[in-house]
Chain A
Amino acid sequence: MASSNAATHSHAHDHAHAHDDHHAPTGFWTNYIFSTDHKVVGIQYGVTALFFMLFGFGLMMMMRWQIAHPGEALPVLGPLLEKLLGSNMAGKGIISPDLYNSFGAMHGTIMVFLAIVPLATGAFGNYLVPIQIGAIDMAFPKLNMASFQLYFWGGVVMFTSFFVPGGAAQAGWTSYPPLANAIPTDGQTYWLIGMVFLISSSLLGSANIIATIIQLRAPGMTWMRMPFFVWSQFVAAFLLLLAFPPLEAAGVMQLMDKVFGTSFFLPTGLAVGGDLANISGGGSPLLWQHLFWFLAHPEVYVLILPALGIISEIIACNTRKPLWGYKTLVYSALMLGFISFIVWAHHMYMTGMSTKIATFFQTTTMIISIPSVIILTCLLLSLWGGSIRFNTPMLFATAFLPMFAIGGLTGLPLGFNYSDIHLHDTYYVIGHFHYVVAPGTIFALFAGIYFWFPKVTGRHMNEFWGKVHFWGSLVFMNVIFMPMFSQGMGGMLRRMSDGGINYLLRPELLYMNKVILYGAIGLALAQIPFIINFFQSISGGKKVTSDNPWEATTLDWQTPTPPGHGNFDRPMEVFRGPYEYSVPGHQTDFTPQNEKPKA
């Protein structure tokens, strides 16, 4: 970067150095593609992740069709699929079992690694953490750019894998070996390479967020004055930083199994298709499961913590009162972070684990529900006695609470091994975690988009269509996921491309497959107003009348709208906690964090 006072190169500056001056970039490439500005990177993450979310949703729609109408040609898209993927994958427009498996594996992978986590931490984290702590940018802007580029190219690799010989990965988003190695497709190799990209991206991003929070808080922004959203990002970033590398190690090992013919995860005497596999053997499939779930359980909290953070900001602002139990929330989030590292094997009760080990993981799993419930209770109590503004973000935020509660409470029977043995790998599990992530996290992300849209673009999204989007989504989410509990308890297994016709213990539950399909179609229709509203409001929405349209207290609303390069037009100093709403004696019902106390 150019230097404005490079003449003084003594090493006795008071502040950072001249060549590190933070100039606004010029030109298309540096502005929009290789930008180092945290806000642009955040928007890049957001747009890409929303695209992938739509794509993952599309995969799900096609799967739901196949489940409700097994063996029938896919309407509209069927011929297109056949043309794109070949007749052995989608002959006559019918989704083959292999293609169904691809869609299932890639729906999970895309939703978790390419849509929700990047949206929650990459987009919201990048855009909001610096402005909420009063910083002008992230601590390492270039790493931030690299993080996005790695994410983007990881996504491209994943997307490309649909078109390689054999199709995309088919062994589930968990990629359990030996299945993952036995399926003859290059897609699995692409999946692994894509994952290495995505993991590296998330390492750079999470280290950046943590360093930013530790180092770049504005004067007066002490730890206990940070908005809860920043805390949630802080804990989530630590989870990503420490839980992902073991999966990277596992990914490298599975890649060696695929490419160099090693047997890290392939046991001696493995038979594939009835014949003894030609492998050296000596490996352990369980090792993969341990390394995978050591990431993937903390990953659940990476999905949910930023969502809780977003919800907290919106609830505090729209109830016009402080969050109930701010410190309790903070400590609970920290507890959640720590304990999430020692619960992973509750995904593995069916692996022949000894009862002693199972007891340990059952105990930790029950313990981790305590901080989760504390957080939820605090948020619920925060509503008490507030004069609530039911705008679109607040509707999503209030709906989040019961939806997330359903998701959380239905998890308890899965945390005990004796009930898990019955429910494992059924639609009950699908219903459970989708309640956490879909009407849970995704609702929070929608809430966040509606809430911060005026700050990012300077215009409001349309309230009416926002409400249509909300009610449609709320109703159809439940139409989709609620029947899955019954189906699961009736014994319907997941990952069956025929929708369980041949396996279901209680065939009278099959009609629900059709109900769920109609729900999915309804959910798709309910997203149309959102998509139109989103793009239309960028240029045609109602203009904001002030920099702080929601009359919020945190520093993100003290920036110009939209924030320019460097975020603030004056240096920020913080004098008070994040949620000083309705302070008695104050002339407005909100007191910004940077308002000087009266002498």
Chain B
Amino acid sequence: MQIPYTSKPRPDTGLYNAKVGLWLFLASEVMLFGGLFSAYILLRTGHEGPWPRGWLSVPIGTFNTMVLISSSISATMAWAACKMGQFNRFKMFHGITLLLAILFLGVKSFEYRDKLTHYWVETKSGVVADGHLVKKTDTEVVLHGVRTSDAAVLYDRTSADYKKLHHEEITIPTADIKKISNYQPKLNIYLSLYWCITGLHALHLIGGILVFGYLWGPGSSMWNRDRERFTNRIEIAGLYWHFVDLVWVFVFPVLYLF
């Protein structure tokens, strides 16, 4: 007894089981990220005061977008190679996808680290200092960044505008600090959304990397046992991968550009 249509498509639906399952899974994923983006829209439209804009590096985000789009192309090429029966070519393209995915996460963790060393300090005298931490002792905090009494310039800006602001080494005595926080999720609602959405997206990438890694390594022995089923696995892993890319294509403008 065998479960039918595990690799051959069912004639009336034209699909094999795993493909149906994956599309259903993706439909639920659309609703998951749809929920998050709805939250973004509702929180932003209901927001009072300036919305943080230009807090992320657009060049880095663009670069990462390119990395993911390229990985989508190589994922498709790997599947095509399977279809043509070229195992070595598959290994190459599939490996490229993996490396690009890891590169993306590397860049992303660089961005995360940057956010965690970036501090926002409000003093009792009404000055806001915003910059990367240089030194922190019991008596003082030293940042390298911008000092201003008009916090609005720090909120709504482009990253180019921000660069034009005067950067300097700022020393703030601890006694003068009213509020100090790095760019962690709870600093403001924008950063909460940023960490939540990109974090969930990164988890999806990690999941994808595990699957791709398995299919490149131990899982690829199925090529010799059951070529068609293996090709199907590559196809549905690729479908998932395209979806993760697509989510990023929405994440990038929403969080980096708008």
Contacts and interface: CB of A to CB of B under 8 A. Distances in A.
Interface string B24-35: 110111011111
B103 interface: no
A268 B8 CA distance: 57
B20 A215 contact: yes
Given A17-B229, A203-B28, A291 B39 contact: yes
A158 B34 CA distance: 27
Contact of B39 (A16, A248, A264, A281): A264
Interface stretch (A6-14, A50-58, A424-432, A504-512): A6-14
A19 B226 contact: yes
12 contacts: A9-B226, A13-B8, A21-B1, A21-B2, A207-B28, A241-B27, A242-B27, A246-B34, A249-B36, A253-B196, A282-B43, A282-B47
A256 B192 contact: yes
Chain A to chain B: the 6 pairs with minimum beta-carbon distance, closest first: A246-B35, A249-B35, A282-B189, A245-B32, A11-B228, A245-B31
B185 A260 contact: yes
Nearest to A207: B24
A211 B27 CA distance: 13
B35 A22 contact: no
Contact of B17 (A14, A211, A260, A286): A211
B224 A140 contact: no
B5 interface: yes
Contacts, number: 170
B196 A6 contact: no
Given A9-B225, A268-B48, A211 B21 contact: yes
Contacts of A15: 2, 4, 8
B184 interface: yes
B35 A262 contact: no
A208 B3 CA distance: 13
Contacts of B25: 203, 207
B6 interface: yes
Interface in A279-305: 279-284, 286-287, 290-291, 294
A313 interface: no
B218 interface: no
A280 B184 CA distance: 11
A525 interface: no
A242 to B, nearest CB: 5
B186 interface: yes
Interface string A5-47: 0100101011111011110000000000000000000000000
Given A20-B2, A139-B17, A207-B21, 17 more contacts: A6-B225, A15-B4, A17-B2, A17-B226, A17-B228, A21-B2, A22-B1, A22-B2, A136-B2, A139-B20, A139-B21, A141-B3, A206-B24, A211-B24, A216-B4, A280-B187, A291-B38
Most buried by A among B2, B46, B185, B225: B2
B219 to A, nearest CB: 13
A437 interface: no
Interface of B is mostly: helix
Contact of B185 (A17, A137, A256): A256
Contacts of A124: none
A15 B189 CA distance: 54
Contacts of A246: 31-32, 34-35, 38
B42 A284 contact: yes
A214 B13 contact: yes
Interface string B171-198: 0000000000000111111001001100
B56 interface: no
Given A13-B8, A284-B42, A262 B192 contact: yes
Contacts of A86: none
Most buried by A among B15, B33, B225: B225
Contacts of B65: none
B3 A22 contact: yes
Interface in B136-194: 184-189, 192
A14 B188 CA distance: 59
A566 B20 CA distance: 22
Contacts of A216: 3-5, 17
Contacts of B15: 214-215
B7 interface: yes
Most buried by A among B17, B35, B42, B185: B35
A256 B195 CA distance: 10
Contacts of A136: 1-3
A290 B2 contact: no
B227 interface: yes
A215 B46 contact: no
B73 interface: no
Contacts of B13: 214-215
B53 to A, nearest CB: 15
Contacts of B6: 16-17, 20
Contacts of B17: 139-140, 211, 215-216
Contact of A215 (B10, B27, B200): B10
Contacts of A284: 42-43, 46
B227 A11 contact: yes
B225 A19 contact: yes
A148 interface: no
Contact of A11 (B47, B188, B226): B226
A291 B35 contact: yes
A287 B3 contact: no
B256 to A, nearest CB: 20
B197 to A, nearest CB: 9
Interface string B191-232: 010011000100000000000000000000000111111000
A250 B226 CA distance: 42
Nearest to A249: B35
Interface string B98-133: 000000000000000000000000000000000000
A243 interface: yes
Contacts of A16: 2-8
Interface in A134-150: 135-137, 139-141, 143
B47 to A, nearest CB: 6
A245 B37 CA distance: 12
Nearest to A286: B42
A20 B29 contact: no
B228 A245 contact: no
A165 interface: no
A140 B225 contact: no
B32 A287 contact: no
A495 B22 CA distance: 42
A252 B47 CA distance: 21
A6 B17 CA distance: 21
A181 B35 CA distance: 20
A344 to B, nearest CB: 12
A75 interface: no
A139 B17 CA distance: 7
Contacts of A6: 225
Contact of A20 (B3, B43, B47): B3
A263 interface: yes
B21 A253 contact: no
A157 to B, nearest CB: 19
Nearest to A241: B28
Interface string B41-58: 011001110000000000
A137 B2 CA distance: 9
Given A207-B24, A287-B43, A249 B186 contact: no
A261 B184 CA distance: 10
A287 B225 CA distance: 51
B113 to A, nearest CB: 17
